[in-house]
Chain A
Amino acid sequence: MSDPSKQPEAPNPDTDAYAHESELEAHLQPKRMYINMGPSHPAMHGTVRMKVELEGETIIKADPEIGFLHRGFQKSCENVTWTQCLPYTDRLNYNSAMMNNFGFLNAVEKLIGLEIPERAQYIRVIASELHRMHDHLTCVGATALELGGFAPFLYAIEGRELIMDRVTELTGARLTTSYGRVGGLNRDLPEGWIPKTIKSLDKIQELLVEVEGLLMKNRIFVDRMKGTGLLSAEDALDFGFTGPCLRAAGVDYDVRKAKPYWVYSQLDFDVPVGTHGDNYDRYIMRLEEMKQSDRIIRQALAKLPSGPIIVDDWRIALPPKPEVYGTIEGVMSHFKLVMEGIPVPPGEVYDSTEAANGELGWYLVSDGGGRPYKVHVRAPGFPILSAIPQIIEGKMLADLIPTFDMINMIGGEVEQ
């Protein structure tokens, strides 16, 4: 029996009774809708905010706003020594830190006019290609995940973890390695690293077969990738695309082939080129490039010569520790290198290497001191992201996700 003196309960907003019939049948507003994707949206890699103007599901206008992560890369570099820039370059593309490291060092070495030892060149190639695979695995896995496939993501990440383990053994860090030094490398390969790496590569190839098998015959995946995110070769050049995104459009340009650096000219590999310039082709490019990277690493490991890993010049490389502790010359050179930095002769240089996403260019100016006067980075993701409004306007909102995945925008480098 209910108590007649008790007041009726207030309506609970969490129950269905609260939603009226008329509200459930409300029509979509016919007017334009403005939505913000980001700055921390799961589909926006890094912190990009995309202001999207929608009519129904069609994107009328897209305006990317990219400054949320900006951390003053150039200004920071211009106020530390050349070697101290390395940790900053790591963070440009945190998926392939060593490629950024080595790209920067390559430009500095060009500016000095320095040839690094052959063993160091081989190890740089091996480490770069490992990180290229690392980057592509992340990209392919994340794309699969964002289009609804969790299993391929797990396989890709398993492969990535194997690379991370090898990278940790090599450099002591998983993500931000700071492994290079002007004139060579920080340290030599650890004992037993080569057979371990080959074993990891075998496993990664197996995992790639799984990933391919799961994705290439998946109707949802293929339908969302094929024919979306189209950009013609001419427009891609106009925007300054490089790397897999340019090659997907059918342009055969790879810095490793066009202007070989280190020992790339001595290694045998192919550059895959696509035809359509859509997301599917970009995805295929990344898969093929991983296979080529595998080839390169195996060859380089087989050919790896012995010898020093850094130049024997105390004006550039730190002297060996017994010399620092035992001789006055060693102490002085150590002190000068740490406190004042490497004296890079005055001048300027523009130099580029092929990073995972494309041409990573460096324009450096030195005034002769131990610190860079100007460090300009041509990050490959920056021009690619700038093309997004053109690619996506007039297309569906759902196309934004695979397109954004496949350009593989990395917040760190775009936002400098």
Chain B
Amino acid sequence: MENAIYIGLSRQSALRRELALVANNIANTSTAAFKREIALYSPYETDTKMEEKLDFVIDHGTIVIHQPGTLQPTQNTFDIAIEGPGFFVVDNGKQPLYTRNGNFKLDPDNQLITGNGDLVMDDGDNPIFIPQDGRKIEISPDGTISAGPEVLGRLKVVEFEDLARMQKRGGSLFDTTEDPKPAERSELMQGHLETSNVSAISELTRLIDIQRSYEGVKNMLDQEAERLRSSVRKLGSPQAV
């Protein structure tokens, strides 16, 4: 008999998790190359003693929306944005990880690193060394890094068939179980950064929706509690018979 309450609760806990997700999207509106996420819901069928089945709500997944952000000029030599579906390859010392946040720096050994200090890889999976001799560094759309006429290396850019298998690792990094393929449809833009793809309007709408849905479930729970109370009262009193 209390099924309605449990179904309501399943919806409320799913909504609370989605609120955390929307909060994370909104917190990252200014994070370079951030990809927003949406929650997936589905019914979860449960057998009852009666004929019909009951559907609980479960939030069975989050999906990362890989829609590209807009490119913003920054004028910095080592800010590189990717136009197209590609990812840079970085090495955190344990495994290769992938990122679209091209806000790179140099470490004390003159190697190209990400904001987290992970090494950026070249097409031979080696770190990229930039000599400190004052020559202007140019990065061409295909990733070739050159200082004047001398070619210093080439940034590794990879693409994936199934972006749904990519998992976030924080610090703009992604991890995947899929093997990367060399980029074909991606071009690099030096002196640019990709902005976050969070849209204020859609997040705000979702926020209102979550709050109202939560209130709706609460009203339903109130009514259900009232129904139980009145039925207990009526059935329990001798006049009811």
* Bind each other: no
A residues in contact (CB < 8 Å) with B = none
B residues in contact (CB < 8 Å) with A = none
